[in-house]
Amino acid sequence: MFERYLNFLPRAKAIKHCKKKNSRGLYFERLIAFDSDNPPKINQLEFIISEYQKRKGVRRSMFQASIFDPRRDHVSDAQLPFPCLQHVSFVPQGKTLTMNAFYATQQLFNKAYGNYLGLCRLGDFMAHEMELTFSRMNCFVGVAKLDNITKTSDTLAPVKEACREALSSKTD
């Protein structure tokens, strides 16, 4: 699967509406081809899977994968669209796998759900490859943002209404 993804990657990056968003890379790319500008590429997921399969004397703290790359990401731009996710870790516990993810910043309103869904899919994939059952994903956020949405924004109107309805039904 890793090879197929890397073969597809140039086409994914060239998609017109995604070109600007993907110019700094993709999360899965960094997980399976970290430091791709300086060969050999590091497939962090493959390393974690193979080390887990050895099972003897393996320390759990080694099951971590970095997204943040200081060579590419230490830039003085005011804002970067990528990467917000900094790293992930995988914690085997008996026959289950827990995944942890750390975001330095997270746009909660526009991006969180899709990001969490993708992380859970990654956790499920890793659990399958490690012959475990994916049990949960923990997400840690350093700075939670509501994007550019203020509390008076019209975008929040449906959310406010749903909250009001939920609260009023509790008092009835």
Which sequence spans correspond to the domains of the chain?
Answer: 2-171
Res 2 pLDDT > 60: yes
Res 164 pLDDT > 80: yes
How much is the average pLDDT of 105-127? Answer: 89
Q: Write out the E strands in 17-163.
A: 64-66, 85-93, 96-107, 133-145
Q: How far apart, in whole angstroms, are the C-alpha atoms of residue 69 and residue 24?
A: 11
How much is the average pLDDT of 43-52? Answer: 93
pLDDT for the residue 92: 94
| This model's pTM is above 0.85 | no
**In this structure, which topology does domain 2-171 adopt according to CATH?**
Thymidylate Synthase; Chain A (3.30.572)
Res 96 pLDDT > 80: yes
| Listed range (17-26, 108-117, 153-162) with the worst mean pLDDT | 17-26
> What's the token pair of residue 159?
């959310």
Res 22 pLDDT > 80: no
Closest-CA residue to 18 (of 69, 70, 82)? 82
How much is the average pLDDT of 127-143? Answer: 95
Burial class (CB within 10 angstroms; exposed 0-12, middle 13-18, buried 19+) of 89: middle
